[in-house]
A and B are shown apart, each in its own frame.
Chain A
Amino acid sequence: MSAREEILDRIRTALKDAPEVPVIPRGYRASSQLDEAVLIELLVDRLIDYKARVSIVDTADVPAKIAEVLAGAGSYVVPAGLDAGWLTGLELEQDSRRRLDSVTAPLSVAELDGVDAVVTGSAVAVAETGTIILDGSPNQGRRAITLVPDHHICVVEVADIAGILPEALRRIDGTRPLTMISGPSATSDIELERVEGVHGPRTLDVIIAR
C-alpha cells in the first residue's frame, strides 16, 4: 500500500466513530463600518506602533513625497507596472538611480542586493492591525523586490484601507502569491522583547494617498 493510501486509511479508521461536523459559529465581526478619517487614524497609529514611518498626502502630491523619501537612496527598484504618475516628480522623471523589474525582465538576487530601496503600491491594508497586503499585482511586482532592498516605500490608497482583517481578506484572491506586512521586520527572540530590523527591509515608509 502506498504511504498515501495507508495514511488515509489510518485516518478513516481513526474516525470510525464518525464524529459530528459542527456548524461554524461566525459571530465575530465581519465588518467595522468605520469612516475614512477613523480608518486613516487607526492605520497610522498601528504603523507608528510598529516603528514604520508614515506620511499622509493628497494623491497629487504622491510623486513629490516619493522623491523626498528617496532622497538618500543611491538606487531604487520599481515594478514595471507601478503607476507611472507616481514617478512624474521633476527629480524622478529621468532618474538614473532607477531600476525596473518585471516577471519577464527580472533583476537577479545579486542585483537586488545592490539596490537601496524599492517603491511599490499595495493591494489592501488593514487599519486595526496595521497590515499592508501585497498580492503581486503589476504595481507591486515580484515578492523578491520588496524583500531584498533594505528600504521599502509603499503607497497605500485610502480606498484600499479596510477596517478589520475579515474585510481585507474578502477583497483579495487567496491564490495569488501574498505577503502580509505589519511594520518592518522584527524579532522577539531575545527575552521576548521586540527589536525592529532583522532580515527583511529595516525601514518601512508608508505613504497614504487620499
Chain B
Amino acid sequence: MSTFLGMPSLPVYGTGNLHASESFPKAAHRELGNAQLRANLGHATHTIRDKRLNVVSELPDWEDLRDAGSAIKESVMARLPELLEQFEANFTARGGVIHWARDADEANEIVAGLIRATGETEAVKIKSMATQEIGLNEYLEEQGIAAYETDLAELIVQLDHDKPSHILVPAIHKNRTQVRDIFLREMEGVDPDLTNDPARLAGAARAHLRRKFLTAKVAVSGANFALADSGTLAVVESEGNGRMCLTLPETLITVMGVEKLLPTWQDLEVFMQLLPRSSTGERMNPYTSLWTGVTEGDGPQNVHLVLLDNGRSAALADEMGRSALHCIRCSACMNVCPVYERTGGHAYGSTYPGPIGAILSPLMTGIQAEENNSLPYASSLCGACYDACPVKINIPDILVHLRSADVDSKRGKKKIPTQMDIGMNAASWALSSGKRLGMLEKGLPLGRLAAGPDKKITKLPGIAAGWTQSRDIPAPPKQSFRDWWKKEHHAPDTAPAAAHDQEDQP
C-alpha cells in the first residue's frame, strides 16, 4: 500500500500567533493591574450584551436557528474533504485560483508571492482573524510590502503598534480619548482639533484611508463563509472598508481556514441570522459582500483564495474538541465571560482570546505548546459562553476535556512528585475513610492558632498560596461537624454551652 508511505503522521499542529508565551495566571495578574483597561472592557462588554439580548429576543425561532447552525457545522466537519473538493471545483470554474497552505509560513509565502507577482509593494487589508493568526502583516513588512489595515479598530491597533484584544472589536481595550490621542500622535495630516467624539474619529479614519482605497491595486481579506455548492465567498462587515477592498482593486487575495465552509446556499440563511445578532447585536450588519470567482467587468479580475490548515486538522482529530471548529468568530462568548471581562484579550496570548480561544488555541497547537496548557483553566466553567454561542459549542465541556489532556500529558514524566501530586494523594488517603478524616479534624484548633486574633488566614504555603493571593480564609471552627454531631446526639448532658455556640458552628 504505497499510498500510506506519504501519509502524514497526525496530528500536525499549527504555527504563528496561536500561543500564550507566558502562563495565563501570570499574564492575567499583570492585565488586572490596569484599571483603565478594566473600566473600558466593563463598559463595552455590558453595552454589547444588552444589545445582543434585545435583538435575539426579537426572534421567535432563535433556538431553532442555533440548532440548525450547530447541525450544519457538524455536518461540514464530517464531510470536510468532500466539501473542500466541491468548493474548489466551483470556485475554479468561475475563474478563481485556489492555493493550499499547510501552516502559517506557507500561507505567508503564498500571499507575498502573489502580491510580488502584481509588481506592487502595497496592499489594503480587511480585518481578518486568519491573517492575524499567521502573522501576515509582520511577514509582509519583512518582505518590503506595506499592508494597510482598513477596519477602524485594526487601524487604531496598527497605528498604536499594539495587538488586537478582541476578535470583533480589536481595540475594545481603548476608550474614545485614548483613540483620539493615538490619531493625533500617529495619523499623518490629522486635524489637530480632533475631539474624542466617535463620529469625528470615524470621519478622521475615512479621510485618512480614502486615497488608499481609491488607488490600491491589491487587497487581502479573510472570509466569513464559503459555500461549497457554488464556490461563493462572503465577507460580513460594517464600515464599507470591506466593500472598498473587495470591489476596487485589480487583485484580491483571500485567506481562509478550511473549516469555514457551508454546504449550500440555503445554509447562508441560517448563519446570516445568527452572526450579526451574536456579534454586534444588530439585526443585520451594514454590509455583506458575496462573490463567486471573477465577474467580468465588476470587481477584481484576479481572484485568489488561500485555504489554510495550520492546526485545524489537528483540532479536527480530537473527537471531543473538534466542535470548536464550528466557531463563526462572532465573539459573543468573550462578551459574556466573567474572566475575559476582567483580564481582556491580551492575557490569552493567542490571536483567539476569551472562552473560544481557551479551547481553540490549545487544540490547534497541541496542549503542550508553550504556555497553552494554562488556557483551559482561564474559566470558572460558569457556562455563559455555551448559552451565548450561536452554534452551541459546548465550551465548558471542552475546557474540562483539555484540562484532563493537560494532566495526562504530564503523567509519568516527572520522577519527583509535585506538591499537587502529594496533596492529591493525601486527600485521597484522608477522604477515603471517615476515621482518617476524623483524626485529621482534631487538628482544626491548629488552624485557629494560625489565624490569630483577627480570625483570618491570609497566607497559605506552597501552591496553596494561589488561593490566598486575593482572598483570606476564615479561621476554622473549634470543632468539626462530626464532633458537634456526636455531642448533640450521643451525649446530651455534656457541654451544652459549646453545642450552642452559634458563632463557631461549621
Size category, A interface:
35 or more
Q: Which of B4-12, B137-145, B457-465 has 4 or more CB atoms under 8 Å from chain A? A: B4-12
Q: A136 to B299, alpha carbons, bound, how many Å? A: 11
In the complex where A3-B101, A106-B297 touch, is A182 in contact with B152 (Cβ < 8 A)?
A: no
Q: Is A46 a contact of B10 with CB atoms below 8 Å?
A: no
In the complex where A8-B84, A183-B286, A191-B40 touch, is A147 in contact with B8 (Cβ < 8 A)?
A: no
Closest to A105 in B: B297
CB distance from A156 to the nearest CB of B (A): 15
Q: Is A19 a contact of B77 with CB atoms below 8 Å?
A: yes
Q: A158 to B230, alpha carbons, bound, how many Å? A: 29
Residues of A within 8 A of B72 (CB): 24
Q: Is B287 a contact of A7 with CB atoms below 8 Å?
A: no
| Complex interface bits, A1-30 against B, C-beta within 8 A gives 1, otherwise 0 | 111111111111111010111111111110
Size category, B interface:
35 or more
Q: Which of A27, A174, A187 contacts B152 (CB 8 A)?
A: A187
Q: Verify if A142 is at the interface (C-beta below 8 Å from B).
A: yes
Closest to B272 in A: A165
Q: Which of A22, A179, A185 has the most CB of B within 10 A?
A: A185
Q: Is A185 a contact of B78 with CB atoms below 8 Å?
A: no
Q: Which of B18-26, B196-204, B479-487, B495-503 has 4 or more CB atoms under 8 Å from chain A? A: B196-204
Q: Is B203 a contact of A23 with CB atoms below 8 Å?
A: no
Q: Is A143 a contact of B64 with CB atoms below 8 Å?
A: no
Q: Is A189 a contact of B287 with CB atoms below 8 Å?
A: no
Q: Verify if A96 is at the interface (C-beta below 8 Å from B).
A: no
Q: Is B284 a contact of A27 with CB atoms below 8 Å?
A: no
CB distance from B255 to the nearest CB of A (A): 14
Q: Verify if B115 is at the interface (C-beta below 8 Å from A).
A: no
| Complex interface bits, A192-204 against B, C-beta within 8 A gives 1, otherwise 0 | 1111111111000
Q: A162 to B316, alpha carbons, bound, how many Å? A: 39
Given A5-B6, A190-B175, 7 other A-B residues pairs in contact with their CB atoms under 8 A: A9-B7, A21-B74, A24-B71, A147-B248, A189-B156, A197-B202, A199-B150
A interface residue numbers (CB < 8 A to B): 1-15, 17, 19-29, 46, 50, 103-104, 106, 109-110, 113, 126, 128-131, 136, 142-144, 147-148, 165-166, 169-170, 174-201
11 of the cross-chain contacts (CB-CB < 8 Å) are A1-B6, A6-B102, A11-B80, A24-B68, A169-B265, A179-B243, A181-B287, A184-B286, A185-B238, A195-B199, A198-B239
